[in-house]
């Protein structure tokens, strides 16, 4: 489903970056983010939540138990973060949206470790494996690839590549490939406009439609994979759909659907324990320095793999 991203500048966040948001109630259903933050992506290392900013590329860290937040990476003019992903080496990867670059940060200090430019349309979401990081492009039929060396060593910029997508996944007008996750059988990508899931070979780029037995996934945005359970965020429909993937990632069965009165265009989700935390991008709401943004917690659907 095509999306219109809010435009904002660094001034949008100036007041918010001055101090962390105070701790909230111990039993949390919501974590307030700095006013004007404009989130799109969220990830977790299992204990801490990290959310990027479309407005200026800043990264926020949040404690899902206390609700305390602090700015890990300061924003800057001309930067943006769409998808964000942690890896097994203590790093955060940020997709630069129309900036067509991927940035890598130390997850503890916030230090910028590397920047990887690509020729792309909209670098949207990421998935990290021990061997590499794969980034979806919503406007160009390709997957951006950052290979990792021994023990996760970062490559030189010239070692990255763009993998053309072929097969069943076809691009059209508006947003196409969006959320992306990695499985043993290949990459899984959701097509926002068509509402379909595809398995993509990370070596050849060949894509195959995944049979979802008619489950509707239009407006599909971020994906979160926990064991064999795939959570699909349907942004403007304010819904998370959870499916169970078969061993070959050829078909998926509905596990459950979650909505919340607290949702306002959730875009991506991260799981901590039995909880799903989604950021609310609030697309369609004018972004000002006073615009409120927040994360919403819901219970993961029953029946998902632990």
- Res. 78: pLDDT tops 90: yes
Q: Residue 300 carries which DSSP code?
A: P
Query: Can you tell me the mean pLDDT for 5-11?
Result: 40
Q: Convert the pLDDT of each residue in 42-66 to its tens digit.
A: 999 999 999 999 999 999 999 999 9
Q: What order do you get walking across the sheet with 206-209 strand by strand?
A: 166-167, 206-209, 196-200, 186-191, 177-183
How remote is the C-alpha of 248 from its chain's centroid? Answer: 24
Q: Is 228 left (phi over 0), alpha (psi -120 to 50) or beta?
A: alpha
Beta bridge partners of 177: 191
Q: Convert the pLDDT of each residue in 147-200 to its tens digit.
A: 999 999 999 999 999 999 999 999 999 999 999 999 999 999 999 999 999 999
Cβ contacts of 90 within 8 Å, gap of 6 or more: 106, 107, 108
Reported confidence tier of residue 120, pLDDT bands at 50, 70, 90:
confident
Cβ neighbour number for residue 247 with a 10 Å cutoff = 10
How remote is the C-alpha of 263 from its chain's centroid? Answer: 16
Tokens of 249: 């990632």
Reported confidence tier of residue 224, pLDDT bands at 50, 70, 90:
very high
pTM: 0.90
Best CA proximity match to 178, nearest among 24, 281, 284: 281
Lowest mean pLDDT among 1-5, 192-196, 235-239: 1-5
- Res. 306: pLDDT tops 50: no
Reported confidence tier of residue 27, pLDDT bands at 50, 70, 90:
low
Q: Please give the Cα distance from 208 to 92 (Å, whole number).
A: 29
Query: Can you tell me the mean pLDDT for 104-118?
Result: 98
């Amino acid at each position: 489903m095509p999306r219109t991203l809010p435009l904002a500048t660094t001034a949008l966040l100036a007041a918010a970056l001055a101090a962390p948001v105070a701790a909230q109630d111990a039993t949390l259903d919501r974590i307030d983010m700095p006013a004007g933050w404009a989130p799109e992506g969220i990830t977790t290392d299992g204990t801490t939540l990290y959310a990027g900013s479309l407005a200026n590329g800043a990264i926020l860290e949040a404690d899902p138990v206390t609700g305390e937040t602090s700015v890990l990476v300061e924003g800057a003019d001309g930067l943006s973060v769409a998808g964000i992903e942690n890896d097994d080496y203590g790093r955060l990867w940020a997709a630069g949206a129309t900036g067509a670059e991927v940035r890598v940060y130390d997850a503890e200090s916030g230090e910028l470790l590397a920047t990887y430019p690509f020729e792309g349309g909209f670098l949207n979401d990421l998935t990290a494996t021990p061997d590499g990081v794969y980034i979806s492009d919503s406007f160009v039929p390709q997957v951006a690839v950052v290979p990792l060396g021994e023990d996760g060593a970062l490559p030189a910029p010239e070692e990255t590549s763009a993998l053309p997508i072929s097969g069943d996944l076809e691009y059209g007008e508006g947003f196409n490939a969006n959320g992306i996750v990695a499985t043993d059988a290949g990459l899984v990508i959701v097509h926002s406009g068509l509402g379909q899931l595809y398995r993509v070979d990370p070596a050849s780029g060949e894509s195959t439609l995944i049979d979802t037995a008619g489950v509707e996934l239009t407006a599909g945005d971020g994906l979160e994979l926990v064991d064999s359970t795939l959570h699909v965020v349907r942004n403007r429909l304010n819904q998370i759909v959870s499916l169970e993937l078969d061993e070959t990632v050829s078909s998926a069965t509905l596990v459950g659907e979650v909505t919340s009165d607290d949702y306002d265009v959730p875009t991506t989700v991260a799981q901590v324990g039995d909880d799903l935390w989604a950021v609310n991008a609030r697309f369609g709401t004018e972004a000002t320095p006073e615009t409120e943004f927040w994360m919403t917690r819901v219970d993961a659907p029953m029946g998902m793999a632990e």
